[in-house]
Amino acid sequence: MNRVAEILRHVRRSPEGRLGLIILTAIILAGAAGPLFLPDPLAQPDILGGANLAPGTGHWLGTDQLSRDVLARVVSGARISLTVAFIAVALSITLGAAVGLVAGYVGGWVDVILMRVVDGALAIPRLFLLLLIVAVWEALPLAAFIVLLGTTGWFGTSRLVRGEVLRLKTEPYIQAAEALGARRHRVLFHHLLPNTAGPVLVAATLGVGNVILLEAGLSFLGVGIRPPTPSWGGMILEAQEVLFVAPWSSVFPGLAIVLTVLAVNLVGDAVREAVDPQHA
Amino acid sequence: MTNTPPPPPAPTGDILLDVRDLGIGFVDASGTETIARPVDGVSFSLRRGETLALVGESGCGKTLTSLALLRLVPAPGVIDPASRVTLNGRDILTLDTESLRALRGKRIAMVFQDPMSSLNPVFTAGAQIIEAIRAHERVSSSAARSRALALLHEVGIPEPEARIDQYPHEMSGGMRQRVMIAMALAPEPDILIADEPTTALDVTVQAQILEVLDRLQSIHGLAILLITHDLGIVAGRADRVAVMYAGKIVEEAQTEALFAQPSHPYTQGLLASIPRLTGPRSQLRPIGGTVPEPTRWPTGCRFHPRCPQVMDRCRSDPPELLQIGRDHRMRCWLAEGS
């Protein structure tokens, strides 16, 4: 669509945006294609002799205490982290946009009820809520984890979209569409929704960075993505015991987290700049 | 001449739209108490193929009146239940949502004041015209597109094939207003409400847009309700003129009669404030003051605080709309003395 294309063009032109896009693309490509060329991230070829090897020959980023290849695990972790983040954010943006659209457009008591629910949900810290659920749910499947992240992240987006809809509702072109006999759902999805694309895109990009951190945090606490599936947070957790013997097995996943979140936020800032040049 | 309240003109066969005692109230936050009546007892009718100009300053209730015809009055405005708006004998104000939607655009279409913000910025001109067509008719997208092209041609857009895929921001104000007119005409309405269609445009473009409206009216037999504050564009275009002040119609006449014999002091004031290029040079005489707020309509005649010919009774007694000539009515106590 025109507006989104325009925003992406702006992001590519800004220096931060381009740097972010380059790093992010590299990470995505590595996550997508890397595992084809790297050893099995779960394989423990030689626990006795091949554990805690320093970066170098054969293992570019060394091996961990179970003799697994750190590079292969970091790359697999990218695949998991990004997949989790993108799906969860897509889910939360969809939910948030739907609730915000309905609340803003329908108004009245529908709006009051929806927004009070959102207020209530926003009052509960997301991390605590997630911790509670995942701590109770012993064998949490990956899909359920993603759904949990998605369904707890839409509250802010719904307020954002509602505010946009309230503003857009008074735009003459919305009135013009109604005056020309456009159906209600048409006004909602065809006229209002695309015009909220800008702020929603900002929220989505920054949301991705947020979810990556959240997932890493939960995995580090041992309640997110469960071993042996490699996740960056989980790798740092496992490598704690050997922090001084083999620092590379925790430093590299940590670097991966920092680099990814940094890249996502660079892109997010550039998107924000494109959407709202005054608040650059 | 006559002192009896005017009988509403007998509806004849060719009356398309009839508005009786239209009142719009602004309600307070609880939705129960009316705190202002920006439109109060407005009646007029519109015949097939004619142009009726609704004239008045900003804030006199013209736009609200026109929005009420489509039941698009924005909150906190509420249309009085006693009002009647009939289109071909059918009461618009009691229609259910779907019949109302089917009527909007299809029978009564509207061109808005500001072409800059009345087109959706994220869709091409063509997409918006096609949407207007398909809101009312099941047609294939290729058929709708060729009709959109014909419409763009009809409203005088050069190279419609190139323009149809352009976005509003790629067009000038005049172009956009032409696109708006094409959108409004797409469902082939009977009535076109043009709310200050040229106010936001350059003078030279204004003339072109008005010319387009005139041409389309003669081709399609449209009835036009022209809302404007500019008596200059009314002359030679409208068949009849209704002058509104503070939520009421204060004078109504055939256009020639109104210009030849403006009778209400407000109409006289409006005419005296238009610059003229011909005739003896005279000082422009603006009307002092501004339209009062709808929450504070003056008692008696609502124009009395600004009226140069104010009399004692004007301050206390509201005048009725009185017949002062053939098809000529005004709401002023001066009518009694004449």
Q: Residue B281: its pLDDT value, please?
A: 66
pLDDT tier, B282 (very low <50, low <70, confident <90, very high otherwise): low
Packing angle, helices A197-220 and A70-106, rounded to 10: 140
Decide if A175 and B113 are in contact by the 8 Å CB cutoff: no
pLDDT tier, B7 (very low <50, low <70, confident <90, very high otherwise): very low
pLDDT tier, A2 (very low <50, low <70, confident <90, very high otherwise): low
Residues on B contacting A at a C-beta cutoff of 8 Å = 70, 72, 74, 101-106, 109-110, 112-114, 117-123, 131-132, 135-136, 167, 180, 183-184, 186-187
For the purposes of burial, counting CB atoms within 10 Å of the CB of B214, is it exposed (0-12), middle (13-18) or buried (19 or more)? middle
pLDDT tens-digit series, residues B268-281: 988 887 776 666 66
Partners of B108 in beta bridges: B104, B191
Q: List, in sequence order, every beta strand (DSSP E) within chain B.
A: 15-27, 34-47, 51-55, 77-79, 84-87, 90-91, 108-111, 191-195, 223-228, 240-245, 248-254, 322-325, 328-330
Q: Residue A62: its pLDDT value, please?
A: 75
Asked whether residue B9 carries a pLDDT value surpassing 50, the answer given is: no
Asked whether residue A77 carries a pLDDT value surpassing 90, the answer given is: no
Task: Answer whether 0.80 is exceeded by the pTM.
Answer: no
Closest residue on chain A to B195 (Cα) = A176
Tokens of B68: 């009420």
pLDDT tens-digit series, residues A255-273: 988 999 999 999 988 888 8
Asked whether residue A129 carries a pLDDT value surpassing 90, the answer given is: no
Asked whether residue B338 carries a pLDDT value surpassing 60, the answer given is: no
Angle (CA) A11 A13 A17, round 5°: 45
pLDDT tier, B224 (very low <50, low <70, confident <90, very high otherwise): very high
Distance from C-alpha of B15 to C-alpha of B12, rounded to nearest angstrom? 6
pLDDT tier, B10 (very low <50, low <70, confident <90, very high otherwise): very low
Decide if A2 and B122 are in contact by the 8 Å CB cutoff: yes
**Percentage of chain B exceeding pLDDT 70:** 93
Q: Residue A128: its pLDDT value, please?
A: 86
Q: Residue B254: its pLDDT value, please?
A: 92
Asked whether residue A88 carries a pLDDT value surpassing 90, the answer given is: yes
Distance from C-alpha of B64 to C-alpha of B23, rounded to nearest angstrom? 10
Q: What is the mean pLDDT of residues B293-299?
A: 86
Using CB atoms, pick whichever of A1, A179, A194 lies closest to residue B105: A179
pLDDT tier, B212 (very low <50, low <70, confident <90, very high otherwise): confident
Decide if B120 and A2 are in contact by the 8 Å CB cutoff: no
- Of A243, A249, A236, A267, nearest to A81 by C-alpha is A236
Size of interface A-B (CB pairs under 8 A): 75
pLDDT tens-digit series, residues A157-195: 999 999 999 988 888 888 888 888 888 888 888 888 888
Q: What is the mean pLDDT of residues A242-264?
A: 86
Decide if B112 and A194 are in contact by the 8 Å CB cutoff: no
Q: Residue B12: its pLDDT value, please?
A: 47
How far is the alpha carbon of B338 from chain A, nearest alpha carbon, in Å?
Answer: 43
Closest residue on chain A to B121 (Cα) = A195
Is beta strand B240-245 parallel, antiparallel or unpaired with respect to B248-254? antiparallel
Q: What is the mean pLDDT of residues B284-302?
A: 82
A31-35, B23-27, B166-170, B212-216: least confidently modelled range: A31-35
Using CB atoms, pick whichever of B105, B112, B122 lies closest to residue A3: B122
Query: Strand, coil or helix: what is A160?
Result: helix
Q: What is the mean pLDDT of residues B106-135?
A: 89
Q: Residue B277: its pLDDT value, please?
A: 67
Closest residue on chain B to A6 (Cα) = B122
- Of B130, B214, B11, nearest to A186 by C-alpha is B130
Q: What is the mean pLDDT of residues B198-218?
A: 86
- Of A237, A242, A240, nearest to A223 by C-alpha is A237
pLDDT tier, B182 (very low <50, low <70, confident <90, very high otherwise): very high
For every residue of B101-146, DSSP letters joined together read HHHBTTTEEEE-S-TTTSS-TTS-HHHHHHHHHHTT----HHHHHH
Asked whether residue B11 carries a pLDDT value surpassing 50, the answer given is: no
- Of B276, B274, B271, B278, nearest to B257 by C-alpha is B271
Contacts of B135 in chain A (CB under 8 A): 180-183, 186
Contacts of A180 in chain B (CB under 8 A): 104-105, 109-110, 131-132, 135, 183-184, 186-187
Asked whether residue A89 carries a pLDDT value surpassing 90, the answer given is: yes
pLDDT tier, A246 (very low <50, low <70, confident <90, very high otherwise): confident
Asked whether residue A1 carries a pLDDT value surpassing 60, the answer given is: no
pLDDT tens-digit series, residues B126-155: 999 999 999 888 999 899 999 999 999 988
Distance from C-alpha of A279 to C-alpha of A229, rounded to nearest angstrom? 41
What is the average pLDDT score of chain A? 85
Q: Residue B130: its pLDDT value, please?
A: 93
Residues 148-207 of A with CB under 8 A from B: 170-173, 175-183, 186, 190-191, 194-195, 197
pLDDT tier, B233 (very low <50, low <70, confident <90, very high otherwise): confident
Distance from C-alpha of A215 to C-alpha of A202, rounded to nearest angstrom? 20
- Of B235, B180, B169, nearest to B205 by C-alpha is B180
